[in-house]
Amino acid sequence: MRLVAGVLLCCALGAHADEWEDAIARVDALQADIAELIESVTPTVGAVSNYGAELDINTGRVALKLAGMGSGVVISSRGLFLTNVHVIEGAGYLDVALHDGVYRASVFGDTASGVKKGDIAVLQLHGKKKFAHSDWRKGQMARLKPGSVAFAVGNPYGHARDGKPIVTMGIITGKGRAASQRGYLYLDAIQTDAEINPGNSGGPLFDVLGNLVGINGLGRFRKDRKGTGVGYAIPIDQIRTFLREIIKNKGDVAYGYHGLRFDARIKGAYIVRVDPGSPGEKEGLARRDVVLKVNGKKVTSPAEFANIAGKLPEGTVIRLQVRTGKRNRNVRLKLAAAPVTLLGKRSARRAGEHGHLGFWWRSTGRGIFVDRVLDGTGAADAGLQEHDELLAIHGETVTSLKRLRSTLETLEPGELVVVKVARGGETIERVVELCDAGRQAGLEE
Amino acid sequence: MKTLAFLLLAATAFASELTTFEKELQRTVRRVSPTIVAMYATDGRGPRGTMSVFSGVVLDAAGTILTGQETLNRKWRREIFAVYPGGSRPVKVRIKHKDAIGFALLEPLERPRPTPRSARAITTDATLPGTPVVLVGAIWGNDGFGDPSASWGTISSIAKDGTMRASTRLNLGTKGAPLFDLKGGLVGIALRERNGETVVLPYERVREKYKSIPNTRARKLGTGVADALTLVVEEAAARARHAVVGVFAKGLPPGSGIVVAPGFVLCSARSLVTPGAARAATPIHVRFGAKPQAEATIVAWDARLRLALLKVDTPKDCKPLSIAPRPNRGQFAIAIGHPQRVTAGIIGRHGALRDLYPAFDAIHTDAHVSVAHAGGALVDTRGRLIGMIMHIDDTEKHSYRTQKHHARYGESTGLGFVIPMSRITPLLPRMKNGIHFTRPYLGVKSRVHSKGLLVEATRGKSPSGNATPAHTAGLNAGDVLVKLAGRKLVTRHDLQIALHEHTVDDAVDLSFLRDGQTITKTVTLCGR
């Protein structure tokens, strides 16, 4: 009897061992697939560092303080880089660290306000002719269903600022979600439980085929900004609509504005107010109208309406079917740019955008003296030396720090100014080309 | 016809294990979502009154709902409504049975249409620490309840009172939500969150108390990828658990440790790295599994990595784990802490930042690791040891002595750092002989220079009175440090890394430039 039991046990254990052999083989294959996918997409992901330059008026040293950080993804071989607006907000000096180095980045296009409401920002990277990029045209939203696997790649807490991004894996929890934080509104967003922490913002979300399907931007955080397993990403179809416009217009594209206001507590997409002067008013929409269909799709709540109509660029025409009283009618509404108050003002001129003389100084009771001339600046080219006493800049006498500060505030990088110094009893005048504070004066430790 | 065949062939050719895995997960979520019910309890005063939101799962065709009892224990509660999947309006429900162990059964007052799908429960003797599970609930958002939301994690531990802990996280609205295994079998319901984990009541405990609900079925693992992953993660956790121990010292929060050799346990020791602190912390106790605590002594510590080696009588069946080869990004990793906390995730990155001291070459993982895991093991799918779990939390400074800390004791930020064994193994021989590793001191104040590190000032004696290497090498201000111990110095972090790779009393070569000439001297590193 014991023999039989023993044999059965051995068979069972053997069967279990075989089961495990098969299982580990499959898991090894799964891991190999994941590793291959990660290695193919991570070269396109970069860590964004947003520095503000602070001039210390006592010494002339410029300190680059890290004002913000996030992630982003390269989307074209020419170096277009996709990230969130709130990462580059108050855009000072932007550095993007990719796997092969740190590249300077500037906001793409002429204006700097970005698409604030929807949190999509495009940067231009400088420094290389061809960049490894993720194709923004390939991601398919229809493939993503609850349970789909997704990879979030980015720079959580700044731990990838050397250009080697960190990958987290999770599943798609849901689609079509709305979330908002600090003035940024995400509509029709993807919700995922891949760990999204501060610093992951702007970073890409990839599906199992390695296609870009979203840009992570918002996470629900607990106290002290710990991730909770709920993260929101802007879906790629929304990004595509805006990217085409941004590239065509070479810059800023606003989210479309219709001016219709709804009440979520009343059944259906019931209009309670139409903003005066808005496209909605122009088309004759008024209180008590109910929106039945948008672009052919039935809408039964304000949230559904926002998910379709709230995420389109200005200038788009939407077709609405509206019931007024007892009649249905069709309306064509052209979305306008939102009024300035909604988008926010352009950030004030950033510190450090002023011209820098190219040397550090020290201020004593007897005057201001050159302490150290920085390599590669206009001051070095002009032959200024340590211990020169600063007398005048650009025709203004600058023998006190207060005068120096007020003079510097009027000057821009690249300007040529005449600097008058005293050296060994002689007065010397030199033409100095002012340099960019953040780029040239602030990089030494 | 030919194109169809070609397309089919092409499709299968591209189907990798990853896409198959994804399809299986999607199918599971699709299968279980129709069993999820979103619910809210009101005080009868309409939209302006008080409301609590939670989730539940349907057990039978009549629409009986299983949920947690906690949210129903509110004095103001008057009415409960359930939104059945596919239904257009909320249905009023009433409590059929409430039980102190934490569950409640609700029945609808009118027949829900369409007939809801019932969840199929499985026995939990098959679920072990490490079993991957999916929590599916209705998260409450700005626009009310959305579609059911799924998030995954693992069964982290099985507690003595019959409940389980899972590494999923509860969000607003998901209290009472069900947890399923990767095949869609109902495992239990989420009662509440505690120490960063979800407390789960197994379905079997519910049925013990209330017989008139469907019985459980045995779990059957098939041949799919999700099945394979479940089996492998459970097996890896089972193989490695014996080597993870609990370390308890006075004044410190309970932590974990790893058996690295017979008689030796390695643990995380943020503060046990000076003789005074070590004395104050004794006696240190180590617990193996459920056995009573054994007393341990500190043999040596590494102040740079903040770990300590303990000597303790290890039981015979407690063999050290084999070491895993260098992990790849994307590889699965299982984090094991004491007493039984098992979480899983992937390797996010190998080789942390140069300026993230002391985690220069740490491995990053998204398995939930918390303070309780510190000192525990990270293993691969075969149960081999990848490294020791550190706990670096950038969001706050832990204060071990305050109430605040203990409340957050178990929580994870989703970012875990692990010291690779390749860094620890070379230290062990010396540590076993009682040699401590402390941060060496060079005695130099430097700043970045185009050719290396420019020495701005030197110190002849360290704060504790040792002669510094700067003094022995005769460094002056104006010298430019070029190489230390074979490492080229470009930034100050390179200097930190070079020092970090060595310890006090190590003899290393220091190269520096003076007046255009490179001079190399051998110096002995001293302590602070």
pLDDT (tens digit per residue) in B443-478: 888 888 878 888 888 888 877 778 888 888 888 888
State the ipTM, two decimals: 0.83
Helix (H) or strand (E) holding B497: helix B492-500
Region of residue A100 (phi > 0: left; psi between -120 and 50: alpha; otherwise: beta): alpha
Contact A24 B17 (CB under 8 A): no
Per-residue pLDDT at B142: 52
Strands B341-350 and B332-337: antiparallel
Query: Which residue of chain A has the CA closest to B347?
Result: A167
State the Cα–Cα distance between residues A127 and B372, nearest whole angstrom.
45
Q: Residue A189 in contact with residue A178, Cβ under 8 Å?
A: yes
Residue B33 with chain A: CB contacts under 8 Å: 146
Contact B330 A31 (CB under 8 A): yes
Contact list in A for residue B29 (CB cut-off 8 A) is 145-147, 171
Nearest to B395 among A160, A194, A224 (CB): A224
**Where is pLDDT greater, at B191 or A224?**
B191
How far is B448 from B480, CA to CA, in rounded Å? 9
**Distance between CA atoms of B1 and B475, rounded to whole angstroms?**
82
- Is pLDDT at B10 greater than 60 in this prediction? no
**Residue A38, Cβ density class (10 Å: 0-12 exposed, 13-18 middle, ≥19 buried):** buried
Which CATH superfamily, name and number, covers A256-336?
A: PDZ domain (2.30.42.10)
**Quick check: A177 and B141 CB within 8 A?**
yes
Q: Are A101 and A163 in contact (CB under 8 A)?
A: yes
d(CA B443, CA B152): 51
Q: Under an 8 A CB cutoff, do A165 and B229 touch?
A: no
Quick one: which of B415, B525, B400 has its CA closest to B470? B525
**Residue for token digits 């349907």?**
B58
From the list B143, B330, B450, the residue facing A34 with the nearest CB is B330
The arithmetic mean of pLDDT across residues B495-506, rounded, is: 80
Tell me the shortest Cα–Cα distance from B227 to chain A, in angstroms. 8
Which of B18, B396, B447 shows the shortest C-beta gap to A30?
Answer: B18
Beta bridge partners of B53: B40
Identify which of A92-101, B281-290, B410-419 has the greatest average pLDDT.
Answer: A92-101
- Is 60 exceeded by the pLDDT of residue B297? yes
CB atoms within 10 A of CB B274: 13
Q: Which residues of B touch A213 (CB under 8 A)?
A: none
Q: Under an 8 A CB cutoff, do A160 and B29 touch?
A: no
Q: Look at the domain A354-440 and name its fold.
A: Pdz3 Domain (2.30.42)
Residue A24, classified by CB atoms within 10 Å of its CB into exposed (0-12), middle (13-18) or buried (19+), is middle
**From first to last of its 445 residues, what are the pLDDT tens digits of chain A?**
666 655 665 555 566 778 889 899 999 999 999 999 999 999 999 999 888 777 778 877 777 777 788 999 999 999 999 998 888 877 678 899 999 989 988 888 644 444 456 788 888 999 888 999 999 999 999 999 888 999 999 988 778 888 889 999 999 988 888 777 777 778 888 999 888 887 888 999 999 999 999 999 887 766 544 556 788 999 999 889 888 888 887 766 777 888 888 876 677 788 888 888 888 888 888 888 888 889 988 888 887 888 888 788 888 899 999 988 888 889 898 988 766 443 333 333 344 456 788 888 888 888 888 888 887 778 888 888 888 898 888 888 888 888 888 888 778 777 788 888 898 888 888 888 887 766 665 444 3
Which residues are CB-neighbours of B325 under 8 A, at least 6 positions away? none
> B74-108 pLDDT, tens per residue?
778 888 999 888 877 888 999 999 998 999 999 99
Nearest to A146 among B150, B228, B349 (CB): B150
Query: If you average pLDDT over each of A34-43, B119-128, B368-377, which comes out highest?
Result: A34-43
CB pairs under 8 A between A and B: 205
Of A173, A208, A227, the CB nearest to B19: A208
Rounded CA-CA distance A419/A385 in Å is 12
- Cβ-based neighbour number of residue A335 at 10 Å: 23
Q: Mean of the per-residue pLDDT values for chain B?
A: 82
Best residue in B326, B329, B380 for a mutation probing chain A (most A CBs within 10 Å): B329
Distance CA(B329)–CA(B348), nearest Å, equals 6
The strand pairing partners of A323, in sequence order, are A290, A328
Distance from CA of A149 to the nearest CA of B (A): 6
- Whole-number pLDDT of residue B59: 93
**Separation CA B10–CA A248 (nearest Å):** 36
**Identical topology for domains A46-254+338-346 and A256-336:** no
Q: Which residue's entry shows tokens 């080697």?
A: A164
Residue B505 scores a pLDDT above 60? yes
Q: Among residues B212, B158, B205, B159, which one has the least CA distance to residue B186?
A: B205
Q: Which residue has the higher pLDDT, A9 or B519?
A: B519
Identify which of A220, A226, A445 has the shortest CB distance to residue B411: A226
pLDDT given for residue A111 in this prediction: 47
* Contacting residues of B for A303, CB less than 8 Å apart: 142-143
At B56 the pLDDT is 92
Domain borders along chain A are 2-42, 46-254+338-346, 256-336, 354-440
Give Dmax (Cα) for chain A: 113
- A46-254+338-346, which class in CATH? mainly beta
* Option in A167, A168, A229 nearest B169 (CB): A229
Structure tokens at A186: 């995400």
Most B CBs within 10 Å, among A39, A40, A138, A168, to test the B interface: A168
- pTM to 2 decimals? 0.81
3-state secondary structure (DSSP) of residue A392 = strand
If one compares B486 and B501, the residue with the highest pLDDT of the two is: B486
Which residue out of B17, B36, B326 would a mutagenesis test of the A interface target, given it has the greatest number of A Cβ atoms within 10 Å?
A: B17
| Two tokens, residue A109 | 């296009």
- For residues B512 and B482, the answer to whether their CB atoms sit within 8 Å is yes
Please tell me whether residue B139 adopts helix, strand or coil conformation. Answer: coil
CA atoms within 13 Å, Cβ hemisphere of A271: 23
Interface probe, candidates B346, B379, B493, chain A, greatest A C-beta count within 10 A: B346
Cβ contact, residue pair A171, B151, below 8 Å: yes
Instruction: Give how far A397 is from chain B: nearest CA, Å.
Output: 33
Which of chain B's residues have a Cβ under 8 Å away from the Cβ of A227?
413-414
Separation between Cα atoms, residue A109 and residue A133, nearest integer Å:
19
Contact A24 B21 (CB under 8 A): no
Q: Using CA coordinates, name the residue in chain B closest to A306.
A: B143
